[in-house]
Structure 1
């Protein structure tokens, strides 16, 4: 008798591995029935990860979206699954245990059957609560082994890790090969080793196709005893996504496995709708580079799930870097040149950062540090000068113990900056938060929702939820989409045709004036009484006209573009005029590439002017503080 093997369509991950967004709920409801009619899936990945945040960014209610999207699958007995990030829940940063517990209860009641829980550091300590809360909430607790390829991440390491997860309450195991860098034979050995120890544990194999191993790895996993294989489908298979359903289906049948037939008409309907969603608006957020496989990623091992955001970050940083290169009389770089430098720098930096598995959020941390290193080296500066606060949290043990030892240069930097390492339980650093958010909602007159689902969204995504409630999120999304559509439809301006730049662009931020025959460089402010202020208030600064001439002052410049922040939270006090800064002191922050970067003083002196405005966008090399 042929061994039966099942398939799961990772519809959520297909989109988020290709670009920034998922389809809207009205689109998801339309595509649900054709997916069901295909007749070959026992499971569908519907939500989790960034799904709820994306709904909020659209200005839509994520709870309504999950309920309506999962309902058709619930009705016919196809299991739905979500991805959750352990200590981080379904966001990028740690959250209180009570918020995590509520999440599993809410998502089960909304129609999600299986919780695929992973920890970015493969830390069993962080996932113990996920398994407990999932089972208490009525969900299946599936533990994901985050696969990466290093001297420390061996087959034996992963088999023993599965032992620990199962002992803590995991009911299923997922081999989560988020970058597709797991070598096929090693994947087979992992599955076989786990099955020999735990024959009744279901094993699901998940791999991205980016470097090209995924088809062979899927076959090795199936032969070794895997029960379910995750697949994507056209037009979003391959590239940074997943191996295609048709390929995996045909391969497994040829290998002697029993699988249901695929309803071809339903397949084409699903494919057509997915393409329709791309043509409607989602294609504006999919970088064409993400549709290609790239064996160069075998070395750096960056995951498919973050390549969409990586290419967007790269585009912004390349523009800023090329401005700097042009200003300094150097040749501009292409996106491919910067990408290759990034790949090389990830390979160099990753071991020194302790070999964290390159999965959310730690893949972003390693990528961000490597990108900043690469840019600093191009500018003739030193490595490690731009390590963001989130990455420091990882390095210092605030998310759990790293498997590898930190490089000596990182240790020395931590000592120089008086940073303390943490060896306790990570969850203890993040207290319960639901009572505070419940009180805030009461004060605002907001309902906590059915099963407290609105309370969950507010506590999990406070900034995005407030923007959703105010209508700002929908307005910003629509404005951004209109801008992208306009840019794509607008005819290119002939190079030979001179154009007059808008007045706002032409306004200088600095100028040289001559007084009594002596030249002075001064900062120019274009503030109006309507200048917005958000977040922590900025301390009043003396008028520009009363500041000493800029030529007599020292300047601290923005090392990258992003949103300028005087403080990263309400408990912190911003710098003010008259403060004495030493080299290495934190001046302010810039939010960029999903993390907050501390800006430190590279010169000492007394603050005489603060040019950066809290909450406003800032360009690389803008002056943010003047010192004397």
Structure 2
């Protein structure tokens, strides 16, 4: 990104904005790349001073997956603005206006551009199929947002459901009602109709549309920039960006994408079944990877069908992070446990649902359009507390001073910046892991991409630019034998011509896999894992009395946590898991004897 940034600053000088943080990018930078998202923002801002930067703000959820205290959202917007974000696309995963109001006010206080956003789902040309999401519904929300004195209206079509005819109807109606309101439309191209839909939006009165460079566009990404720029060239809607400029950027990204080909999910073509399951583009490939990781890769068709069923029984939700995670987790839970939607409705009082599902029905994300399906809500929430208003209003302000003291106790005095406090507040576990990696390995963002992804060959040499005028020349010489007692090896290399040796863990050495006991389905006192995952918390001990449905442990798999409840009331006779254990579906967790 840094290498192409100066060229981008010149080539796209007439663009409305470049998106910096969208979807899960803040989380992914720390979790998978071990890079600081604030540093990335600073470095790109220095290289692109002339184009506004935009980001997604999940209303009261900031850039996280749950609700946070109000002061966290306000401080996040303040710091994001100070580090270079200009335009904040504020949305809520349920179109819950109370959550939107908080995000809008936080951006306004940070002196950012407020782009208040309506998430699009359903089909305004076919209200019989989605009776909640009619044209009047969207116009009413737009009116509410305009009354809040916003700068720009955003339409976020996260699943690519906005067909060309629907685009003309929706955008045309908004433009007629609000002739001076700037309108910004975002879509995904999962079904293959994205280019046509964006051109329809332009013709109906949209001012700004989101596109992706050709080689990074299409399917679950945004529509193709080169196609739209070329299609509009010479018309009254000419973008002013020469097609040759797009070609230049595309050539760079075409080669760069090859470096990450091992992570390509293999989605080769459009998928019009999105109009049935309505899975957001940002979730589609993630859910596919999660399904493969959970052993459900061969049942991807079933996962998509279950997604539609999960959405139905949850009440037909607006589906975008984090509400889409609720539906996705429910879908994978259903497929893993061979449950239909009707099975879930019938057995909800006895099932161990993913934590995201339980918290949604508790009200931690806000209030869905038309309210919750109350019978299902009662069965899932049970005795847990409920929130019937804006979730953040009930949360105590975060004590940033205490958080700083806690983090500096862990990572060293003076090691925590103001922005680190926000990273830790939003993603405590991910931030801890990021800090541990940073302390062990240093700033990994300086390493060339191929080396980050795969090791050097013997006698291969690389250069690492630490700073202006400070460059390391590293040559890999040899690998020492495995130290069987510690699973470590010595690595021999030259640093700027001087011999060096470092002792490293050999991650290729796998511990012996111990066969785990399996729960007997015929024994109602034996609790088996409802799905594959790692044990992250154990909530009972041998000898404890438990009620039916009481939490026994928490499993985590691919960012999906499942609270596993006792199958019956009684006393814990045996506990067969510990924190850190990796379980397969059906592995024995505990045995309970009736009192």
- TM-score, shorter chain, exceeding 0.5: yes
Q: CA contact under 8 A between 1:240 and 1:292: conserved in structure 2?
A: no
How far has the Cα of 1:406 moved from its partner?
A: 4.0
Spell out structure 1 runs of 4+ moving beyond 6 A: 378-381, 472-478, 481-484
| Aligned partners of 1:448 and 1:454 also within 8 Å | no
The residue that corresponds to 2:236 in the other structure is: 256
Please identify, of 298-307 and 389-398, the stretch whose mean Cα deviation from structure 2 is larger: 389-398
- In 1: Cα distance, 2:203 partner to 2:341 partner: 51
Show structure 2 runs of 5+ residues with no match: 123-129, 456-508
Deviates more, 1:602-611 or 1:218-227: 602-611
- 1:48 Cα deviation from its structure 2 partner: 4.3
Structure 1 residue aligned with 2:271: 294
Of the candidates 364, 368, 391, which is equivalent to residue 426 of structure 1?
Answer: 391
Q: Distance in 1 between matches of 2:563 and 2:425?
A: 25
Residue of structure 2 in register with 1:564 after alignment? 535
- Which residue number in structure 2 is paired with residue 617 of structure 1? 582
TM-score by length of 1: 0.76
Residue matched to 2:554: 589
Q: 1:448 to 1:288 in 2, by over 3 A?
A: same
**Whole-Å Cα distance in 2 between the matches of residues 429 and 278 of structure 1?**
44
Please give the alpha-carbon distance, in whole angstroms, between the structure 2 residues aligned to 1:473 and 1:365.
34
Counterpart pick for 2:433 among 464, 467, 484 = 467
Q: State the Cα RMSD in Å.
A: 3.1
- Say which structure, 1 or 2, has more relative contact order (CA 8 Å, 6+ apart): 1
Question: Which residue does 2:402 correspond to in 1?
Answer: 436
Q: 1:283 aligns with which of 258, 261, 265?
A: 261
Gaps of 5+ in 1: 1-27, 320-333, 487-501, 512-520, 523-550, 568-573
User: Which among 357, 362, 365 is matched to residue 391 of structure 1?
Assistant: 357
Partner Cα separation in structure 1 for residue 432 and residue 413 of structure 2: 11
1:176 is paired with a residue of what secondary structure? strand
SS at match of 1:45: strand
Name the structure 1 match of 2:473. Answer: none
| CA gap 1:152/1:449 in 2 versus in 1, 3 angstroms | same
Change (3 A) 1:432 1:408: closer
**1:608 deviation in Å?**
2.5
Q: Which has the higher helix share?
A: 1
Q: Could you say what secondary structure the match of 2:63 adopts?
A: coil
The TM-score with structure 2 as length reference comes to 0.80
1:206 aligns with 2:196: no
3-state SS of the aligned residue for 1:143?
strand
Structure 2 residue 139 is the aligned partner of structure 1 residue 159: yes
2:17 to 43, 53, 57: 43
Distance 1:562 1:241 in 2: 29
Partner of 2:108: 135
Q: Which residue of 1 aligns with 2:121?
A: 148
- Say if 1:123 and 1:49 are closer, same or farther in 2 by CA, change over 3 A: same
Using the alignment, how far apart are the partners of 1:98 and 1:553 within structure 2?
A: 47
Question: Alpha-carbon deviation of 1:308?
Answer: 2.3
Q: Structure 1 residue aligned with 2:148, among 155, 164, 168?
A: 168
Given candidates 82, 85, 89, the residue that maps to 1:109 is 82
After superposition, the Cα gap between the structure-2 partners of 1:306 and 1:233, relative to the gap in structure 1 and judged at 3 Å, is same
1:78-100 residue CA offsets vs partner (Å, 9 max, x unmatched): 11101111111111121111111
* Residue pair 1:35, 1:267 contacting (<8 A) in 2 also: no
Q: Mean Cα displacement is larger for which, 180-189 or 221-230?
A: 180-189
Q: Which of 29, 38, 52 in structure 2 is aligned with 1:63?
A: 38
Taking a change above 3 Å as real, the CA distance of residues 248 and 269 of structure 1, as seen in their structure-2 partners, is closer
Q: 1:503 & 1:136 partners in 2: Cα distance?
A: 52
Q: Is the 8 A contact 1:82 1:112 kept in 2?
A: yes
